[in-house]
Structure 1
């Protein structure tokens, strides 16, 4: 994940990795991120199963570390893309859905047309 630039090595972000076609790192960023996320997820499971069988603390610590890295990877895969679908009028994100909770405060064309 460090190689893709998803997790910066310094506190200042000088050149973040973009998914644009003109970025030379772009075609490799997402696949590397998915592979390393899968590795960390499987390693978390492996360390936890070893802890269950042998009850050594080092396996729990390993599972915790791998789990944190897997969580960051999953978060980056899901929310790391720069593609935002925002409404020009309201600024709301169009990717949201009503499942499992309905957003009753959301923008409604019929109500907003009557008000303004």
Structure 2
């Protein structure tokens, strides 16, 4: 499985895991965040369920936008699966999910520093891991490179900071 698709499925799963307690029992989530015991208001219940629905929809939205779940009923050809950049929504979706995971990781880490509750550091580590995988996808996963048919190496390699001795020998031989 491609790392990019694992990232989109993982994002959907992680956001669903966050949304379920808000949808099932928002009062228990509100009570766990307050220090004193009190009655949960209807507004807090409404906002908790609304946030749960928003997390659920935003979590599953990257799946069709990045071709993780195909929207067509016809089977895809090998050229469509090889070129995932053909969908114009892949890069923006990847950027905004990366931004979301990064901001949530930063926020939960700062909350952990002020409250010292272990739940915040757990959430920060998971969101930070998703942000790191998303950054990896932005940097390396979207472009297949220019792989040579004979050598199997990427032709865009510059040799910096290490010189390609065999490539230099071939260049000298070709010039002679």
Do the aligned residues in 1 keep the contact of 2:67 with 2:84 (CA within 8 Å)? Answer: no
Q: Which residue of 2 aligns with 1:27?
A: 88
TM-score by length of 2: 0.48
Shift of 1:46: 0.9
Number of aligned positions between the proteins: 101
Aligned to 1:51: 112
- Aligned-pair CA distance for 1:95: 3.0
Query: Which runs of 5 or more structure 2 residues have no equivalent in the other structure?
Result: 1-7, 10-62, 70-74
1:81 and 2:147 aligned: no
| 1:90 is aligned to 2:155 | no
8 A Cα contact 2:112 2:118, kept in partner? yes
Which position in structure 2 is the counterpart of 1:70?
Answer: 131
- What SS does the corresponding residue of 1:59 show, helix, strand or coil? helix
Structure 1: runs of 5+ lacking an equivalent = 9-13, 21-25
Bigger fraction of residues in helix? 2
**RMSD across aligned positions (CA):** 2.7
- Higher gyration radius (CA): 2
Match of 2:171 in 1: 110
